Amino acid sequence: MILDIAHYLSILSTAIFMLTFTLVLILDRSVSHSTLLIKRSYSHAFLLFLISFLLYVYLALTDNFSVSYIAQHSNSLLPNFYKVTSIWSAHEGSMFLWIIFLSLWGFIFNLSTDRDLKVKNLSIGIISIIIVGFQLFLLITSNPFEVVLPFAPENGADINPVLQDPALAIHPPTLYLGYVGFVIPFAYALAFLINKDQSIEWEKKVKSWSVMAWVFLTIGISLGSWWAYYELGWGGYWFWDPVENVALMPWLAATAFLHSLSVASKSNVLRIWTLLLSIIVFSLSLFGAFIVRSGIIDSIHSFANDPQRGMYLLAFIAVILFVSLGLFASRLNMFESSKNIKALSKESFISLNNIFFGVLIFSTMMGITYPLIYELIYDQKISVGAPFYNAIYAPITILATMILVISIDSRWGRTIDTGRSFNMLYISLAMGLIGLSLIRYFAGDMSFIIMISFLMGLIIIFRYLILVVKNILEKKYINTPSVIAHTGLGLLILSISANSILSSEKVFNMKPNEVREFENIRIEFNDLELLNNSNHDSIKATFALDANGKSFYLSPEKRKYFARGQITSETAIKIMPMRDIYLTIGEQLEGGQWVVNVQLNYFIRFIWFSAAMMAFSGLLIISNIIRRKS
Amino acid sequence: MKLLLKIIIFIIPLIIFSFFYLYLSKDNSYPGADYKKFDLPAFELQSLYDENFISNNLLEGTYLVNVWASWCITCRVEHGFLTELSNNNINIVGLNYKDNRDDAIEWLVKYGNPYGVVIHDLKGSLALDMGVTGAPETFLVTDQRVIAHYRGEINNMIWNDVFLPVIKERGLVIDAK
Amino acid sequence: MLNKFLFLFFISFTLLAESYYDFQNDEDEKRFFNLIKEIRCPKCTSGSLASSNAPVSEDLKKIIAEMIEDNKSNEDIKSYISDRFGKETLYDTPIEPKTYALWYSPFVFLLVCLMIFFFRKKA
């Protein structure tokens, strides 16, 4: 009964979003009366859809296993929290959430006032038709409302134990909020193009929205990295897995886009690039959805293989991309050729920066698709992994950061004044070299590229430190969000390099009561317990450790889950200021010994902290904009 | 210049889309099938029953090698079809994978034995040498060479679509003596 | 009693081992850890041997450790595994004619973009 209502509400919502789109087409978009109608229509469509989703949550919470999806992914023994999160643990449900968020962004954007009614209404129309496309995809190929016939099972299947984790509960929603948020600048950019009025400053209007979406994306990706670190057991925080990469690409494009947004007013060339970037960012978000859901890529995240869904999504994205690119191409004449960008001005540096981002996006796309290309041509499989991505990202990042520190002293509309500004660069370089020699002293040999990365990280941080101190003393303006974000970037590069240089690991074979030592850490195998839990058995090994003058216990586990017979390894981590002590147990060997793996992961918390810094800077930008408005 | 830009803007997505379209429409009906050819690895392992040693030169002609174990649940599912094959005189060599000898023998007693020879690969060393990742898996071997490999349970459809075409193409005779 | 239970519990995925990951020196151990991160788990949809505790992954890790102790080179070890489980087990994509497009295209792309950027300004 409730299932049917929820289903009908979704269908109705699709119809009303379609109606909204039609209204935008046929009404006079410059009139406030039409605007009100369009607003109402959209709001109704959204609210219907939202109620449908909330009813679905209710169905999940009340263990309604007549719903096929809920039966496959939830279980009556799950805590309520996980009953809800199980909704987005697989394709149909997560698609449902995706579209909810998409329409939610549009809903909030819709409520905001805009004097340029024509453009605003057009953008709402574009958002509406995109939503319709996704809703049709959902209802036709991936229906979450399907019923189990003829009888509902007594209980649901147990969900993958790896998914019963708080981090994994918030990681998808945050990521989705990021992905779909870029529909706002996308739709508004297209509306701007259709409207052909150059004087409208669309870049200013979409800025807060774009930054917010970027913040969500940044946090979402970091959450994924953080989860992977403690869950997957190898101590790594980034694997260059295809699904990580398809989240990284929109993030890179969005970062370039945000930079372009602030520059767009300076030159028509840059305006054109900003428009193109808004299309690219959203397209990459959609591409990400396609890759994950089409079954085309083998990945931890790939949802059920279904080429039919893949085809639909591919066609849908193709239509969106060709229409938007066609529109873009046809309106290029809108901008008369503008004054050239002055060489070595701030605008030119940002343009150059876009090239670096472009190379990274291109390379990532290459890395993701090359195994498929190879298979199509040579009928053989290959893999592309960390070696390739590191080989590309490291030098490009180094180049880009060099340009970054030089550009700090660049000016809008004028060539950079190399005289005074380079002094501060030299100071930063000197301090960086000191830091580098310190770490060389402690860690010995390291690869050249990592050395330079480490150095660049230091230079960025020192350069911004000098900037802040100098500007405070000279009572000059400080662009706080920029300082925080870029210092965060410097910290990110520094932490990644330091983590690579300093981290170490070791494997021991130990029996209970044995003691080992590693890097001045004493490890004693205290206890081995066999535990029985409701959905799994586990072998829990407890170790007593002495490190940095502190004593503590770590208890890694080996678990066997009943429902799917899955065996997982639970890591035990001690977080210390500079490093994590990371312990896992492997198998039991013939003599009764256990394989024990100890890792020391340096500065890993700083990696996520730097991402948090960047996200925070985004929030600062938005709060500044809001404050300026009022 | 602008024209060039317009062309590039269209061509790159066009290429990407046509590529994905081609890839998606590719027939990938049996992802578990692998036709890589390699020599049967040299081995010397005990037979399951009598602890005599079997080595690869004792196995001649064309036969299947089926990787199974008593702890493998899916193996019970394919067992019926294997029995059918063996009833049709098809020679199947069993490769008992990481299994306790007694458990394995008991399993065969309980469910029936479709195998001619059964190799007891307690450590899974031969299996590893053959690229086995788990049970059940089935190999088609002829003249000391592996010519087809399927990961997963074998049934009539897979027999017809994966193994028979290879057998027919090479004009092989797969009957037991 | 506990030991027997534990033994049976894990029988389904252990290769009863004599080798104990006993490396002779630090370089060998580092080599081991680097290798298992670059070799793909043959059974998992994605992921390296390091992140997998599938039976075949555990077996491969032991073989790799043994081969390192036997002073086999990284190439030998990688060939051993890719011969049996396919080239796709190597995350370190080889640089060969068939993969030149992959490895070199980013730099070609960079060069082309930089050329356009710098020459356009002169125009």
Tally of CA atoms within 13 A in the half-sphere of C66 that contains its CB: 10
B176 confidence band (pLDDT: 50, 70, 90): low
Same domain, A188 and A143: no
Q: Do A239 and C117 touch (CB under 8 A)?
A: no
Torsion of CA A42, A193, A135, A214, to 10 degrees: -90
Q: Which chains border C (3 or more CB–CB pairs < 8 Å)? A: A, B
From A380, A386, A387, residue closest to C87, measured CB to CB: A380
Q: Which run of H or of E encompasses B129?
A: helix B125-129
Residue C13: pLDDT above 60?
no
CB A263 within 8 A of CB A346: yes
Per-residue confidence (pLDDT) for residue A289, from 0 to 100: 81
Query: Do A155 and A179 have their domain in common?
Result: no
Range A175-185 average pLDDT: 97
Residue B68 predicted with pLDDT over 50: yes
Query: Do A411 and A469 lie in a common domain?
Result: yes
The residue that leads in pLDDT, A305 or A334, is: A334
How far apart are the C-alpha atoms of A457 and A60, rounded to whole Å?
A: 47
Q: Please report, for the domain that includes residue C53, its CATH number.
A: 1.10.8.640
Angle (CA) B37 B42 B47, round 5°: 115
Q: What is the dihedral of CA B3, B5, B6, B9, to 10 degrees?
A: 160
Which of A154-158, A300-304, A372-376 shows the highest mean pLDDT?
A372-376
Q: Does B37 touch chain C (CB under 8 A)?
A: no
Asked whether residue A526 falls in the same domain as residue A587, the answer is yes
- The answer, yes or no, to whether residue B55 has pLDDT greater than 90, is no
**Residue bearing tokens 């805590």:** A79
Contact A139, A14 (CB under 8 A): yes
Q: Which helix (H) or strand (E) holds A297?
A: none
> Mean pLDDT throughout A608-613?
98
pLDDT value at B52 more than 90: no
φ/ψ region of A281 (left if φ > 0, alpha if ψ in -120 to 50, else beta) reads: alpha
- Residue C15 confidence (pLDDT) above 70: no
Residue C2 clears pLDDT 50, i.e. is over it? no
- Whether residue A536 contacts residue A523, with contact meaning beta carbons closer than 8 Å, is answered with no
Higher pLDDT, C110 or B53: C110
Instruction: Output the pLDDT for position A311.
Output: 86
Q: If 0-12 CB within 10 Å is exposed, 13-18 middle and 19+ buried, where does residue A412 land?
A: exposed
Interface test mutation site (partner A, options B14, B15, B20, max chain A beta carbons within 10 A): B20
Question: Is it the case that residue C26 has pLDDT exceeding 90?
Answer: no
Q: In this structure, are residues A582 and A571 in contact, taking their beta carbons and an 8 Å threshold?
A: yes
Q: Find the domain containing A89 and state its range.
A: 1-164
Supply the pLDDT for residue A339: 67
Tell whether C10 and C52 lie within a shared domain: yes
CB contact under 8 A, A372 and B19: yes
Neighbours of B2 (CB within 10 A): 12
pLDDT at C9 exceeding the cut of 80: no
**Residue C4's pLDDT is what?**
45
Contacts of C56 (CB under 8 A, 6+ apart): B128, B132, B133, B134, C41, C42, C43
B19: which chain A residues are within 8 Å (Cβ-Cβ)? 369, 372-373, 376
Do C66 and C81 fall within a single domain?
Answer: yes
Given CB atoms, is B145 within the 8 Å cutoff of chain C? no
If you count DSSP H runs as helices and E runs as strands, how many of each does chain A have, helices first? 18, 10
| Mean pLDDT calculated for residue range B70-86 | 92
Q: Is A588's CB within 8 Å of C101's CB?
A: no
pLDDT value at B9 more than 90: no
Radius of gyration, CA atoms only, chain C: 21
Domain-wise residue ranges, chain B: 30-169
Verify that A515 and A494 share a domain, yes or no.
Answer: no
Per-residue pLDDT averaged across B146-173, rounded? 90
pLDDT at position C121 is 57
Examine the domain organization and report whether C123 and C72 are in the same domain. Answer: no
Cross-strand bridge partners of residue A105:
none
B43 touches C: beta carbon within 8 Å: no
Mutating which of C10, C84, C109, C120 best tests the B interface, going by the most B Cβ atoms within 10 A? C84
Asked if C6 lies within 8 A of A391 by C-beta distance, the reply is no
Chain B to chain C Cβ contacts (< 8 Å): 37
Same domain membership, residue C120 and residue C65: no
Length of chain A: 630
Closest to A596 (Cα-Cα) out of A479, A534, A481, A517? A517
Out of B71, B100, B134, the one facing C43 most closely (by C-beta) is B134
| Coarse DSSP helix, strand, coil percentages of chain C, rounded to the nearest 5 percent | 65, 5, 30
Out of A412-426, B60-74, B80-94, pick the least confident.
A412-426
Residue of B34, B133, B146 to mutate when probing chain C, most C C-beta within 10 A: B133
Task: Using an 8 Å CB-CB cutoff, list chain A residues near C9.
Answer: 537, 539, 560
Is the residue at A376 inside a domain? yes
A322 in B contact zone (CB under 8 Å):
yes
Contact C47 A239 (CB under 8 A): yes
Which residue in chain C has the smallest CA separation from A355? Answer: C113
- Let me know whether C37 and C13 are in one domain: yes
Mutate to test the interface with A, among C87, C103, C120 (most CBs of A within 10 A): C103
**Contact yes or no for A380/C87 (Cβ under 8 A):** yes
Contact across the interface for B23 and A296, Cβ inside 8 Å: yes
For A85, the 3-state DSSP assignment is helix
* Closest among A394, A272, A209 to A217, alpha carbons compared: A209
- The pLDDT of residue A305 is 61
Domain shared by A136 and A69, yes or no = yes
Residue A458 has pLDDT above 60, yes or no: yes
Q: Which residues of A346-360 are buried (b: 16+ CB within 10 A; e: fewer)?
A: bbbbbbbbbbbbbbb
C17: left (phi over 0), alpha (psi -120 to 50) or beta: beta
Helix H, strand E, coil C: the string for A43-83 is HHHHHHHHHHHHHHHHHHHCCCCCEHHHHHHCCCCCCHHHH
**Tokens representing C62?**
């032991």
d(CA A282, CA A188): 12
**Rg of chain B over all Cα atoms, to the nearest angstrom:** 21
Q: Range of C43's domain?
A: 2-92
Q: Counting runs of H as helices and runs of E as strands, what totals does chain B give?
A: 6, 9
- Residue in the block written with tokens 């991402």: A611
CB contact under 8 A, C59 and B128: yes
Task: Note whether B21 contacts A294, CB cutoff 8 Å.
Answer: no
pLDDT grade for A159, boundaries at 50, 70 and 90: low
Instruction: Judge if C74 and C14 occupy the same domain.
Output: yes
> How confident is the model at residue A114, as a pLDDT?
87
Does a structural domain hold residue A622?
no
Provide the pLDDT for residue A177: 97
- Residue A427 has which token pair? 């100071």
Whether B7 and B115 have beta carbons less than 8 Å apart is answered as no
- Number of domain units in chain C: 2
More confident residue, A587 or A110: A110
The Cα A169–Cα A81 span in angstroms is 9
pLDDT (mean) for B40-49: 89
Least confident span in A45-49, A340-344, A571-575: A340-344
Question: If you average pLDDT over residues A534-551, what whole number do you get?
Answer: 91
More confident residue, A383 or B3: A383
Give the per-residue pLDDT at A418: 73
pLDDT of residue C24: 85
Instruction: Summarize pLDDT for A208-231 with one digit per residue, the tens.
Output: 999 999 999 999 999 999 999 998
Q: Do A329 and B24 touch (CB under 8 A)?
A: no
Instruction: Give the SS3 label for residue A557.
Output: strand
Do C123 and C68 lie in a common domain?
no
SS3 A526: strand
Residue A376 CA to its chain's centroid (Å) = 29
pLDDT class for A244, splitting at 50, 70, 90?
A: very high
By residue count, chain C amounts to: 123
Give the tens place of pLDDT for each residue, A425-451: 899 999 999 999 999 998 888 899 999
Q: Is the pLDDT of residue C14 over 50?
A: no
pLDDT at C16: 45
A382 touches chain B (CB under 8 A): no
Average pLDDT of chain A is 91
Which tokens go with A268? Answer: 């028509």
Please indicate, yes or no, whether residues A392 and A466 belong to a single structural domain of this protein.
yes
Say whether pLDDT at A485 is over 60.
yes
For residue C73, name the pLDDT band (cuts at 50, 70, 90). Answer: very high
Same domain, A271 and A377: yes
What pLDDT does A232 receive? 86
C37 and C55 share one domain: yes
**Does residue A103 register a pLDDT over 70?**
yes
Co-location of C81 and C26 in the same domain: yes
The string over B49-78, giving b where at least 16 C-beta atoms fall within 10 Å of a residue's C-beta and e elsewhere, is eeeeebebeebeebbbbbbbbbbbeebeeb
For the cut 60, the answer to whether the pLDDT of residue C3 exceeds it is no
Closest approach of B56 to chain A, Cα-based (Å):
29
Examine the domain organization and report whether A371 and A402 are in the same domain: no
> Per-residue pLDDT for A571 more than 80?
yes
The predicted model scores a pTM of 0.93
Q: Greater confidence, C7 or A414?
A: A414
> Which residues is A561 bridged to in the sheet?
A536
Is residue A118 located within the same domain as residue A187?
no
Q: What is the pLDDT of residues A85-94, one digit of tens each?
A: 999 988 899 9
Q: What's the topology of domain B30-169?
A: Glutaredoxin (3.40.30)
Confidence of residue B139 (pLDDT cuts 50, 70, 90): very high
Residues C109 and C49 in one domain: no
Residue of B114, B66, B107, B117 lying closest to B88 (CA atoms): B114
Residue A169, phi then psi, degrees to nearest 5: -75, -40
Q: Cα(A376)–Cα(A297) distance, rounded to whole angstroms?
A: 14
CA neighbours closer than 13 Å in the CB half-sphere of residue B79: 16
Between CA A178 and CA A218 the distance in angstroms is 8
**Do residues A193 and A322 share a domain?**
yes
- Amino acid A63: pLDDT: 93
Claim to verify: residue C60 and residue C102 sit in the same structural domain: no
Is there a single domain that holds both residue C60 and residue C114? no
Nearest to A385 among C6, C22, C92 (CB): C92
Distance (Å, whole) CA A588 – CA A524: 17
8 Å CB contact between A114 and A205: yes
Over residues A382-411, mean pLDDT = 94
Q: Which of the four pLDDT bands, split at 50, 70 and 90, describes residue C122?
A: low
Per mean pLDDT, which range of A172-181, A198-207, A302-311, A413-422 is the poorest? A302-311
Residue A623 placed within a domain: no
Which of C12, C33, C36, C64 has the highest number of chain A CBs within 10 A, making it the mutation to test binding with A? C33
- Number of domains chain A contains: 4
* Predicted local confidence at residue A96, as pLDDT: 97
Pair (A141, A210) in one structural domain: no
Instruction: Give C53's contacts in chain A (Cβ within 8 Å).
Output: 233, 567-569, 586-587
Q: In A196-345, which residue ranges form alpha helices assigned H by DSSP?
A: 202-232, 242-263, 268-293, 307-330
- Residues of chain C found within 8 Å of residue B38, distances taken between Cβ atoms: 83
**DSSP string computed for A591-617:** TS-EEEEEEEEETHHHHHHHHHHHHHH
Question: Among partner residues A355, A383, A586, which is closest to C88 by beta-carbon distance?
Answer: A383
- Interface predicted TM-score (ipTM): 0.89
> CA C36 → CA A438, C33, C58, C61, C76, distances in Å?
31, 5, 10, 7, 14
CA–CA dist A374, C7 (Å, integer): 44
Residue C118 φ/ψ, nearest 5 degrees: -80, -35
Does residue A357 fall inside a structural domain? yes
C59/B122 CB distance under 8 A: no
Which chains share 3+ C-beta pairs under 8 angstroms with A?
B, C
Specify the pLDDT at position A245.
95
Closest partner residue to B24 (CB to CB) among A314, A332, A365 is A314
Distance, in Å, from the CA atom of A103 to the CA atom of A135, rounded to the nearest integer, reads 10
Q: What percent of chain A has pLDDT over 90?
A: 72
